[in-house]
Each structure stands twice: as structure tokens, then as C-alpha cells.
A and B are shown apart, each in its own frame.
Chain A
Amino acid sequence: MSDVSRDTMLLTTPFHSRVEAMCDLNDWGNWMGYTTPNAYFDIELEYFAVRSTTGVFDLSPMNKYRVTGPDAQRYLDRLITRDVGKIGVDRVGYAIWCDDNGQVMDDGTIFRLGEQDYRICSYQRADDWLAWNTLGFDVTIENESEAVAGLAVQGPTSCTVLTLLGCTDLNQLKPFGIAHYSFEGRPLMVSRTGFTGDLGYEVWVPPESAEALWDQLFELGRDYLIKPIGSHALELARIEAGFLQANVDFMPAEEVVRVGRTRSPFELGLGWLVDFKKPLFNGRSALLKEQEKGSRYRFAMLDVEGNKPAEHSFILKGDKQVGTVTSAAWCPTAKANVAYAQIEMPHGAVGDELVAEIYYQRELHWTRLLAPCKVIDAPIFKSPKRWQTPAPPH
């Protein structure tokens, strides 16, 4: 028995008893202060559950902030770069928010739960930032991270499984739509969102419902080959599907110490999320200036020759180093070797032919490989199921 207080030890999520029971590999990681599984039984097979059946990922550690009050929409319009008014009630919008210098702090999803009732779901903690931004707005911000448990239920059979759980007519829900149900007398909210690029949903319940939800999901999902997935499998799916990850593909602006290490939305390929028609939002004037002057970097998706993932590679144009890789993987479904890179302007336009300087180790021996690569215009994996409504049964 430890003689120090356990108050500050890592937390477990509301699903932990169930997660632990299924975690054959006992391979745990620390995500946002929570003990979460890196892998349950086999990273590759977990990944394939998302692509072929249903994979369940415990995303309870995500930060969730409720924004309510008469000025909720105005507040968010100042906070994020896109037009919040375009997100209807019971719809979700992908969003980024910048500091005053137009540098990206985080990305996340904005759930519109009512006329002036929103939930921000973010990767980073944002209590401080959200609080400072309330100055002058009649809004209330509530951190409900611990009050909402969540599961990502992703994959071709996910709609069928959730329908069996009682989510009636879920197949009619459009991408980024929200539907409300009840589960054992408590509310259950489903959004057609996810981080995998496949057909998939996120299911949100009060923590008290968590264990029963997990149990029923896996019981009902058995015939649909439901499997739990850990963070390594999700990482593979998100790279293949073209999603960026804070702290991996960009540094949250407020955490950056060294000059020049932050990135703007344009430099991350997220310019489409910036709406200059809005008169004011954080970072607007800096971003306008950047648009006139040009950006320093370009986000590039690279199709790399060969089968060695270009992890941590330098990107060369001729002999000159013009960039670095932030994420890379051999994509199991697309059968392609993909890398995301930050490339110095003017390089990295679609079609540009570059070289990845790859280092890999076999039996303590390092090899340097110069792999030609090409900038592609879209993620390598595209599942039509992701966008189909009604959602396919498998």
C-alpha cells in the first residue's frame, strides 16, 4: 500500500472494467491522464475491425466543453475560424481555433445541441483559453469531460450494431448528424462522426451508463464481428484516412517555446476551415496578412515509393532539405506508403516530386534509403461507405 495519496494517480475511464477485461496484451498508455489501451490483442486485426466489421474505441478522455447562453454562437464565431452559423441544430462541424497570430491551437468538433447550446470536443485541454475568450460574451462554459463518456463505434457493420442497440432509423442519419435516444432510462446521443474515414459513429452517454452500454454493444455486436480497438490501431486508420493529430502533425500554438514552430491553418492544409466573411475571429488579421504575403510551409500528403514507412524522415528536393515528415505509415487497406509532411514553400504543390530520406533499423543495423515520393491531392483511403445515406448494413 502506497503511503502517498492516490488522488493524483492516473485516472481510468468509465469503461475501464470492461476495457481491462478485454485487454489481452496488457499494453497500456497514458492519454490525457487516463490509463488507456495501446492495443487489446493485435494492432493489425484491431485496425481491420474498423475497415471490415466494427471497432470500438473508448474516447472518454477527450475534452468536452459545454457552451451555453444567449451569446453562445457569437462567442464560438469569435473563437473558431469557420462560420458557426452554418452548423445546424443536431449537426457537428469540424473546426480549428487559432491564437491571435493565426496559429493553430487545436482542432476538434463542435456539436450543436440547441439554438444556443454547443459542445466543443477537443484533443487538448482548453479551459483557460475558453475562459479568457468569454470576456464580453454572455456565455457559460462548463467542462463536462468527466460527465460524458464516449465510444467511437466505427466500421462497416457499426450502423447495424447500433440499430440493434435501439438507435432506430440510424441508417438515415447523415454524416455529421446527431441523433438522440435513451438507453436504460438515461440519454444516449449518437453522432455520425469519427477519426477513421469509414462509416462510423460516436456514442455519448453519462458515465453511469458506460458499463451497461459496453456490455450490450459487445453482446449485440457479436454476430457483426465487433472488436475493441486501441490507440495504435486508431493511429493507423487516421493516417490512412487523412486526419491530422495535434502534438503529432502540429504543435498546439500556446505550448510552443521556439520561434517558428507553430503553424497556421493554411500551412496545415486547413484553409478551407477559415471563413474571412466573418468580420472578426481570433487570428483573422494575421491570417489575412498571411494570405497576402504567402505561407512559410505547405502541408503535403506524400505517396512514398517502396514499403518502408517514412517515419521522421527529412524531405529533399534535389540535395536540398525542404521539409520533414510528421506522420507516416504503410496503409494496410490502400496498400500504399503514406506520409504527411511539412514542406517549405514554394515546394510541395500537388504533383511535386520529392525524395524521402528514410532511416530504418533491422537487427541493430541502420539503413538510409532515399525513396522518391509524390505529393497527392487527397487521402489515399476513401471509403464510399463513409458518405452513404442510408448507411450500408455492412
Chain B
Amino acid sequence: MNQYDAIVIGAGHNGLTNGAYLAKAGLKVAVLERNPYIGGATVSRELHKGWWYSNCSYVSSLLRPEITRDLELPRHGLQVVSFGGGATFMRNGDHFGNYSDHDRHYREMARHSKRDANAYDRYAADTSLQTKLIRPYLMRTPPDPTSMKPKDLRDLLEFARSFMDLGEEKLLDTIKFWTASVGDYLNEYFETDVIKAHMAGSGIIGTALGVYSPGTAYVLLHHYMGDVDGNVGAWGFARGGMGAIADALSKAFQSYGGEIICDANVDEIIVKNGRAAGVALKDGTEYKAPIVVSNLDPKRTFLDITNPSDLPKDVLKKARNFKIRGSSGKLNIALDGLPVFNGLDPRNRLMAGDLHFSDSLERQERAYDDWKAGTWSKDPYLDMMIPSLTDPTMAPPGKHMMSVFVQYAPPKVEGREWTDEDKDGFEKSVIDQISNYSPNFRDLILHCETRTPREIEAEVGLTEGNIFMGELTFDQLLFNRPFPGYAQYRSPIKGMYMCSSGTHPGGGVMAAPGANAAREILADLKKPNTVPGGYADD
């Protein structure tokens, strides 16, 4: 009996969240997963005996607390543990550290520049203001600006009012902010290279843009939007790795009667009389359901698993033009001990945070230049973490697991497919970069998993290995995500929906797209809503 009320394609965190809310509303739901394991990019894998890798996504801050609480994820085993610290190591042997205490952070900044240290308060207030504008919309469907429906009009009016309430000066600042580059934005506050570079990283992570590309200021915001416990911008690890999030979501989903089917590679969404009717797998198996939800990115959803003859040309065109460029790679490394970095006692708590080596905007921009030229960066920007300094379950005692997010890595190398030699070259550039600052690093490496966009796309199914399933620039945000006219999780085919990070509010392990999509589906089915709203943001 392959008959369901709803089928969700892809057991990543958004697919599982979507399935959980549909099942909670009483629907008979199956989530289909291509891989033999669930999680998509939200996984923990023991790729070296005794070492667990969060080998795709690696931090959890955006995961909506409303969803965690509502689906009782802690009861289903999820434990998110905050981490602190972080530093950018400098070429001159010094470093810039990140302290959670305001006045300690002031002192650290003042070590580099008293003026910057003081300007930080102005920067923090201005950035928080922008965060406050967007956060209320995370757990909501974006209004359709062309719609005359009362709900859309009401939401648009509210949205407009929150901007108009800012007053002229702040409104102008805001308009500028949403289109500015992170480099230009930071230049308005700070004079010190390393301070700017440390902060600019959040503006480029996961994005095929440079620190001086317009639109990257918003990407910075996207990283600041998360909250671990109301602490805006604070970050955490899922204990046991990111797979713990998928595991808890799957248990919540199953507790509502949901069914997960692995090794189920969807070939095509079956459409009958203009309505979704189910899916056909590559092995020929068919599952029937009047509701089909795709958790694949918009390109794969409309160009791979939907028959073009079932879609209007307009949507095919928009899907083709959707910007989803590969920009990053990842190294996951098992270490025999804790590496020592120049200028920092390894016992320093800064080591437990995000570590970087690009000490100027100039170096970050040059790293992007390499991407434009079609190669990986020779002086890469790294977002490096050692989760085993916070979570003792990731590696044996005294040993460590290191996650190195690398930017930039092009989707194709000088226009051709990645080869194994390219992959080795990419890996070497990263290991060299770290070794430049850590004399004992190279000797500690026990195992290294290297993932270029080629591996990420092949294993996880993210087009070009783009971690956000589509760039987070204003032309692809809110009512533009994934594309204008289709930002409310519905597709042009009746009964077919989207719930991936390619929809509002975008990527990061947030689970909001999955939840918001479920709310719309339940509304169409005239079922009671099971999805919570967002917490008031004040």
C-alpha cells in the first residue's frame, strides 16, 4: 500500500520538519530519502573510527527555538550546546579574539584600536536594528506583493510600516544596508584590518560573492539572525554532531505516525490532470499522494524531478536562472591532539570558537578573485571549528575533530569538471593555510575527508554544492525566494509544494522553510494549523 496523504522528497531537516507538522495534523506522511541515511546536509558520520564528523553543516544557531520546543526535540534526544570564543590569526603572529563579555571584548578590540573598540557599540546597535527588521518574518510566509488577498495586503502593510517607523535617516541606512557590500558596511565603522576581516567572514560564507560585492551585508545579517536562547547571534553545536538534529526531527515525525523510506531515489513527480498524484522512483516504485512536497533545491525540483511538460515556461525559465552557485568546500579532519596556533595558548577558551586566518578584507577579496578565475583560492578564507572542544562525544579524549569550511571553491575548475588531482590541490591549499599558523598541525592529521562542490553535489544533492540552496541576495529573498510569484511554498502544479532552504527564509539549519510550508499546505487542505508562530522579537 504505497498510498499516502502527503509525500515529502528529501529527509533533510526541512523535509523532516515539514513531514512532522503534516503528520501532527493527522496526515499519513512518508518522507523519501535518496541516501541510505537521513539528514541530507544535517548529518553526523563516523568516517574515521572513533571520530564523528558533522561533515556538511557544522553549527546550529538558526534552528528556530519555536520548532525545537513545539516538536519537543530535546525529549527526542536533541541537545544543542553553546560554544564561545573564536579568533582570527594574523600574519604578524598576533590574533584578534572574540569574547562574549562586552568589556573583555572591548579590551581585546582596544588592543588593536581604541576607536574601533568604541565604534563597536554603534556597529552592534545598527546591525541589531537590521536583524530586528527581518527576524519577525522567519516563521512566516512572505507576503505576495502582487496579491490582493487580505492576508497579503495586511502583511505587506505591516512590513512597510516597520520600515517607515524607522524614520528617514534609519530608513535610508536600511535601504543602503540591504544592497551594500559587507566590506563597505564595515568600513563605515572600523579602521583595523583584522577586526573588519574577522567580522566580514559572515558576509561571504556560503555565497559566491566577495567582501566588496553588493548584497553581502545582508548575508552577514543572515548569520546573526540565529539565536541560541534568545542570545541573538549566539552559536551552538548539536551534541553528537548535526545528525542529532535530523535524528530528533525524525523521532518527532515518527511519533506522529510518519514513515521514513530510505534508498528511495525519486525520478519524477507524477502529475495527473494538472494535479500532483505521487512520485515515481528510479527503480520504478510508485508512491501515491495528492500532496507532494519537494525538499530539493528549486533547480532540482523543477528541472530534474518535474516533467517540463507539466510546468509553465515561466517557471522553467525562473528555475534555470535561479542563482545557486557553488562557492565553498569542506575539510573534515581527525586530529591526534590539539593543534597549537601562533600567539595563542591552546588552553585559551578562544580555541573553542570559529577560527580564521584571513586578516584583511584585501586577502578575502583576493580569495574571491581566484574563484572568479575559476580556481580554488590560493589563500583561502577558512571558517574552522574544533567541536570536540565543546562536545566530548565527537572524538576520543584528548583527540579532536576539526571542521574546516573553505571559501572559495568554484563549481567547475576553469570551466571543466573537478578531477581528483584538483581535489588534492584544493586540500593542499587548505592544509598549507592552517600549517602556516600552526607548526604541529600537519603532524596531527589522522584522517581527512575533503569535499569540493563536486562531492557535496553528488552526495548531498545540493546543486553546485551551494550550502544555502540558492544565494541569499535581495533578488532571491523574501517574496523573491525562490522566485517572484512562487514565494509562498506553492508550485504551479496543484498539490505540489516546496519546503527547502531554497524557499523563504533561506539556508542554514533553521527548519523554518519546512515549517512555513507545512502551514500553507494545511491551510490549503483546510486542516487546523499545527505550526507555531515566531516568538515576538523585541
Contact = CB atoms under 8 A, between A and B. Distances in A.
A207 B518 CA distance: 60
A51 interface: yes
A52 B390 contact: yes
Contacts of B230: 307, 330
Interface string A50-91: 011100000000000000000000000000000000000000
Nearest to A362: B538
What is the interface of chain B mostly: helix, strand, loop, or mixed? loop
Given A223-B398, A307-B65, A333-B74, A45 B391 contact: no
A225 B82 contact: no
A333 B79 contact: yes
A225 B393 CA distance: 11
Contacts of B389: 225
A48 interface: yes
B101 A335 contact: no
A232 interface: no
Best-surrounded residue of A52, A225, A330 (most CB of chain B within 10 A): A52
Contact of B397 (A224, A306, A333, A335): A224
Nearest to A157: B392
A48 B234 CA distance: 13
Contact of B239 (A25, A52, A160): A52
A333 B239 CA distance: 11
Interface string B238-256: 0100000000000000000
B176 interface: no
Contacts of A223: 397-398
Given A42-B84, A44-B82, A52-B81, A335 B65 contact: yes
B349 A225 contact: no
Given A41-B349, A306-B535, A156 B392 contact: yes
A129 to B, nearest CB: 40
Contact of A42 (B68, B100, B347): B100
Nearest to A306: B535
A173 B397 CA distance: 23
B392 A224 contact: yes
Contacts of B309: none
B407 to A, nearest CB: 27
Contacts of B83: 45
A8 interface: no
A24 interface: yes
A394 interface: yes
A367 B100 contact: no
Interface residues of B, number: 32
A225 B74 contact: no
B175 interface: no
A367 B391 CA distance: 38
Interface string B286-306: 000000000000000000000
B397 A332 contact: no
B84 A45 contact: yes
B536 interface: yes
A334 interface: yes
Interface residues of A, number: 29
Contact of B68 (A224, A306, A335): A335
A1 to B, nearest CB: 30
B228 interface: yes
A41 B100 CA distance: 8
A335 B73 contact: yes
A192 to B, nearest CB: 20
Contacts of B239: 52
A332 B84 contact: no
What is the interface of chain A mostly: helix, strand, loop, or mixed? loop
A48 B82 contact: yes
A157 B538 CA distance: 38
Contacts of B73: 335
A336 interface: yes
B231 interface: yes
Contacts of A381: 74
B81 A48 contact: yes
Interface in A304-329: 306-307
Nearest to B397: A223
B535 A307 contact: yes
Interface string B64-95: 01001100011000011111100000000000
A52 B392 contact: yes
A105 to B, nearest CB: 35
A44 B389 CA distance: 16
A202 to B, nearest CB: 21
Given A25-B101, A48-B81, A335 B390 contact: no
B436 to A, nearest CB: 27
A225 B101 CA distance: 21
B173 interface: no
Interface string B39-76: 00000000000000000000000000100110001100
B229 interface: yes
B101 A334 contact: no
A200 to B, nearest CB: 15
A75 to B, nearest CB: 43
Nearest to B400: A223
B83 to A, nearest CB: 7
B100 A45 contact: yes
- The 5 tightest CB contacts between A and B, nearest first, are A223-B398, A223-B397, A52-B81, A335-B68, A307-B535
Interface of B: 65, 68-69, 73-74, 79-84, 100-101, 104, 228-231, 234, 239, 347, 349, 389-393, 397-398, 535-536, 538
8 contacts: A42-B100, A44-B84, A45-B83, A52-B390, A157-B392, A225-B389, A306-B535, A335-B229
Given A51-B79, A51-B81, 18 more contacts: A41-B101, A42-B84, A42-B101, A44-B231, A52-B390, A156-B392, A157-B392, A225-B389, A306-B535, A307-B535, A330-B229, A330-B230, A332-B82, A333-B74, A333-B79, A335-B69, A336-B69, A381-B74
